[in-house]
Every structure is written in C-alpha cells, then in structure tokens.
Chains A and B, each alone.
Chain A
Amino acid sequence: DAGVIQSPRHEVTEMGQEVTLRCKPISGHDYLFWYRQTMMRGLELLIYFNNNVPIDDSGMPEDRFSAKMPNASFSTLKIQPSEPRDSAVYFCASSPESGVVPQHFGDGTRLSIL
C-alpha cells in the first residue's frame, strides 16, 4: 500500500517567495494533519482536517500560513510570503476514521528559506 506522499522532499527558496507543500494521504483516511518540526520547538501540529474540512487551525503560526484540502486525496500547505524562520521540516500525516487510531506520516518536506 502506498503511504502518505509528500512533495517536494526538499525546497530551497528565497525570503518573500510563495511556498506550496503538497500531501496525498492514504486512501480511505478521513483525517489529515500538518506538522512542523524544528530543533527549537520539536513537533508542532499546525492544522488538521476531517473529511476535507479544517477542524483545528490553532497551531498555524501566522496569517502567512494557509492550508487547503480540496478533495480527499490532496492537501496543500502554503506560506506566503516566506521568511527564514519558516525553515523546518513539514510533515503530513493521515489516519482512518475517528476514535483513537495511529497516524501515518509522510517522509516530510525539508524547507529552507534563504
């Protein structure tokens, strides 16, 4: 079975540019999560969706960050404009149904803002 697929794996761009990270969850999973990992703050939940609807975006750091899930098989996390402090590894994860079930993680996108 294909796992959670993220693209790109690496992104290097200059400050001020728009960055779009992409995620394809595991087919049939109803929940999708976006995380950010940094040395200073560890793993932080940014936002999560249930059945394509954003449920909790309290972890989104600023208005520069936005996330969408136009259908069950695709989600994007956008940063506009990007800043050097946004440099981090961004993970997407998905899980099936509701209740307490493990999340399945993608391999992440390593983002560097120069």
Chain B
Amino acid sequence: DAGVTQSPTHLIKTRGQQVTLRCSPISGHKSVSWYQQVLGQGPQFIFQYYEKEERGRGNFPDRFSARQFPNYSSELNVNALLLGDSALYLCASSLAMGSSYEQYFGPGTRLTVT
C-alpha cells in the first residue's frame, strides 16, 4: 500500500513569493495534518483537516492557509514568503480525528527561501 506522498520534494523560492505544497494521504485516511520542522527542532503543528473542514490550527500567521479536497488530498499555501519560512514541511494522515495520536508522515517538502 502506498504511504503518504508529498510534492514537490524540494523547492527554492524567493522572499515575497507564494508556494503551494501538496499531500496525498494513505488510502482510507480522512484526516490530514501539516507541520513545519526546522532543523534540530520537533515538528510544529500548522493545521489539521478532517472531512474537508479545518479542525485545528497552530500559531502560524494568516500567510499560511490550507484546504482539503473531496478525495482527502490537501494543499498548504504560504504567501509572502520570508527567510524564516525555510524548513521541512511535513504532511501526516490518520484514519480519523479520534486516532490523530497515530499519524503517518510523508517524506516532506524541503522549502528554501532565499
């Protein structure tokens, strides 16, 4: 069975630009969460979506937005990129809200902002 997939793998953007990251969850999983991981730190929670609705939001500015599609795939958008947005962006899926303690992570998208 395919795991969580993310695209692109790597991305280089310039300050002020916008970026869209994509995630496909494991088949049958209805919840998708997004995390930002800076080198040497734990993943920081950005969003959780379940059944196409936002169910959780971390302490990130409004420049960060996301959505979930009917097929449960998801996109994370970041506007007006800053140097500090450079990080590994991880997507994770879980069966449902109640099982969100057990999340399956994708390989991540490495975003570099110059």
Is B one of A's binding partners?
A: no
User: Which B residues are closer than 8 A to A by beta carbons?
Assistant: none
